[in-house]
Structure 1
């Protein structure tokens, strides 16, 4: 679905290289024989700059604190919310949709600084991602410029479909029930069929308006509202699809483009699920090692404590807690880059120990876990890759249980999450980019999985546009949320659009 926009502006780089000396009697075009005049060179054009907004929406205190439960941010941190209105579908609809915005700034933030626009993936709201950035390692980013988060459709209060009913959330979190692969896959399909019907009924006739292309149109609505020609855009997770859709459909309006932990691009559901299981297992292995060495609450053998807890949940011995809900809490805790790694290790150790001992408050944490919200389900499935089949799930449950002993079977069932969602056409990819693209990728990202960045960098490489990936060696989702080194790379790029050399890595 095309959005109106300007054509991509090309840039040219020039340079010079050393060559053989020119004899004094050799005539050179534009230079008289024997002349001492020096040749001229053309300087490369300066990188485009993001614009300073000409008007602002009515910012107000957020109804709920986006930073609740997070450590304090920089001095004078202010997080505020606003809503603007945009077209539900710029191409076909006269209806409007609310676009939820959240802005973070500090007392040090210059009033005339161009903002950085942030959109998070389908796994969380952009406002919660912004709060984690502003109160963590990304506080320096907010000191230099305001950061404005745009909630992806379905994940913000204005577009939350609230289409789950009864036990839908718990059943999706459990990821199938039954003792054998066939029964688990069929149980998951029953849940997915029911939830898909419920959500598509609620969304009609706008079922197709929650994909990456429409999320990109919301970003352009904000750009037009501000009255600026170019913006700086940062995406987290599978919001990378939104960045690519924005450049493909509204080219010429990006002054900077950063994709942190991009989701896999056009990779089928089975491959994506296995890569997530691989990342989950790697993150858990690091937790077990660090938990053991630091003497965390999970005891001298945290892996055994967790396995005992999972077995009890699988056998139905813990009321309201499924093995899927246990694994959901483990994944979420390991992925939360807004907290330092040592704090995540300690927290997860306490949760595993508390649940194993039957602590009521801790068991409530596991019982209340929700693998996906209704809005996240809609956003995720609106851009889902070709779906997996129950037969693929049967086979994978058996195959992956050995390769990824804790997470393999669970991932093989979750690959069916979007199996019933209406088919959709893959959006166009960009033909090129206006500026070099900066990407970040984590070593063990339990949200997007191992190697997810490769499919995105391949798509950029096919356009011939320059790009560079900075690898963070830590565990978690979002390098900028967990690494001061990554934040330094971001600051340099935002200043002059220069990307670091290939192979750049940020340590833990």
Structure 2
């Protein structure tokens, strides 16, 4: 990532906000009414319905210092930037708030801005995906003109990722071992080698990050959003969160309900599933998306032949013992599956993905190596993504699967989901040796929030459609919008879903519950 010019501005969240966020909520006991000497129990009041869609609010009174970074951002995106589009970058100094030093310390958050509208719209993406500033820039290029005239899009690199003091702590050889690990391993002795790699990774991260290690999580990143809102000088935060980032926005809503503006969840993980069941649901969903990819490939004269699943399965099996050659590296079976997961996120990329897989079948791993390189390779300006993903994911769950269970889970999921079961089972191994966080992420439950559209994508390789629908049901003000298409995220991909989001954000018109958009 080319360097950007930034100026850090110090902002400490006032103590009164901490007290408001952490104070004891209303009593859950029924109200008691007294008449004469008799005590009678009065009926508890019904919870309030959804609040109205909040107004856009006044223009931002932005205290941040911004510098033009259009050229650098265009280089990161790898795509031509329209002449009328400009990007600006800044940094925000937020409170670190590590468990060892609550409400103390500081951490820098990298920001990007695009669009000419007066009101900020924060866009956040998956912690394991591309840096949030790059993700926001990419989304800005797909949003309707009326959105960019009404809002300026703001993206941020989440804690420990991108340029937000990246958690560059896992040794390169351990990144290679973790990402490239045999996705069909079920033997305890073999899986112990993955545990050894994870142990080395966790030890190095603890040594390098010290007290910062447990401060890189979704709970504290929600506080970063609140500090950003204050620094922008707006009464409400309007936001879009894609996939795993939906948990960031719902955590923000639970911690700071008075700050919630017009908020959209573009896919969401099931809030009721703990880590093990959630990873299993993702494995099942990814398997189903591959079947859609295979059918699509076959309909176009697939370079993988008449049976794409068999071709890819054979490729994975072959590379378990004989990795593919590629310039400066190799592509073992684990990298093949991770490259496949990355490629399935964008349906427009499926033809290229099919060709890359076909090249790999013929023995050339160059294209697959390029796809997976951002996970394992990096430098101070473009850090590897695995580190921030692993740390945040493990800090966000209290589930710890003991090593003796890892073989059972791997065998079970590998039998049910032959392409992806092993990789998602291994994500449970990632966290087995990491410190257990002090609190769980809250399940969305706050009543009285404004309507929150939740988009359910029929074929999303990272977020099962059923999970998004469960999130809409869990949220007291959730509204499900169904896109019958394929890809990770509908905003900017589905014209129908994007138009519904635009009407909600710009005009305050909430979509009808259960609205469906064609694929």
- Is 2:285 the partner of 1:279? yes
Equivalent-residue separation in structure 2 for 1:64 and 1:373 (angstroms) = 23
Equivalent-residue separation in structure 2 for 1:271 and 1:366 (angstroms) = 28
Equivalent-residue separation in structure 2 for 1:191 and 1:144 (angstroms) = 48
Report which of the two structures shows the higher radius of gyration computed on alpha carbons.
Answer: 1
Measure how far apart 1:194 and its partner are.
1.8
Aligned equivalent of 2:121, options 96, 116, 121? 116
8 Å contact 2:150–2:506 — kept in the other structure? no
Q: Deviations over 1:389-422 (max 9, x none)?
A: 3344322332333322222233223332222221
2:388 aligns to what?
375
- Is 2:490 the partner of 1:479? yes
Q: Unmatched 5+ residue regions in structure 2?
A: 1-14, 24-50, 377-384
CA, structure 1 residues 391+327, in 2 after alignment: closer, same or farther (shift >3 Å)? Answer: same
Calculate the aligned-residue CA RMSD, in Å: 2.9
Equivalent-residue separation in structure 2 for 1:70 and 1:471 (angstroms) = 31
Q: TM-score, length-normalised on structure 2?
A: 0.81
1:492 aligns to what?
503
- Is 2:454 the partner of 1:446? no
2:42 aligns to what?
none
Q: TM-score, length-normalised on structure 1?
A: 0.82
Equivalent-residue separation in structure 2 for 1:51 and 1:7 (angstroms) = 28
Equivalent-residue separation in structure 1 for 2:18 and 2:224 (angstroms) = 11
2:193 aligns to what?
187
Q: Deviations over 1:4-59 (max 9, x none)?
A: 55899xxxxxxxxxxxxxxxxxxxxxxxxxxxxxxxxxxx9773334421125222
- Is 2:335 the partner of 1:322? no
Q: How does 1:291-310 map to 2 (within 5 A)?
A: 291-310=297-316
CA, structure 1 residues 144+48, in 2 after alignment: closer, same or farther (shift >3 Å)? Answer: closer
Equivalent-residue separation in structure 1 for 2:81 and 2:285 (angstroms) = 29
Equivalent-residue separation in structure 1 for 2:191 and 2:492 (angstroms) = 35
Equivalent-residue separation in structure 1 for 2:62 and 2:139 (angstroms) = 25
- Is 2:414 the partner of 1:401? yes
Equivalent-residue separation in structure 2 for 1:73 and 1:214 (angstroms) = 34
Measure how far apart 1:346 and its partner are.
0.9
Equivalent-residue separation in structure 2 for 1:386 and 1:243 (angstroms) = 22
- Is 2:432 the partner of 1:426? no
Q: Deviations over 1:319-366 (max 9, x none)?
A: 421111001111101113xxxx2x322111111111222336335426
Question: How many aligned residue pairs are there?
Answer: 459
CA, structure 1 residues 351+69, in 2 after alignment: closer, same or farther (shift >3 Å)? Answer: farther
Measure how far apart 1:200 and its partner are.
2.3
Measure how far apart 1:74 and its partner are.
5.5
8 Å contact 2:87–2:114 — kept in the other structure? yes
Q: Unmatched 5+ residue regions in structure 1?
A: 9-43
Equivalent-residue separation in structure 1 for 2:372 and 2:103 (angstroms) = 41
1:17 aligns to what?
none
1:96 aligns to what?
106
Q: How does 1:27-66 map to 2 (within 5 A)?
A: 47-62=54-69, 64-65=72-73
CA, structure 1 residues 195+378, in 2 after alignment: closer, same or farther (shift >3 Å)? Answer: same
2:401 aligns to what?
388
1:14 aligns to what?
none
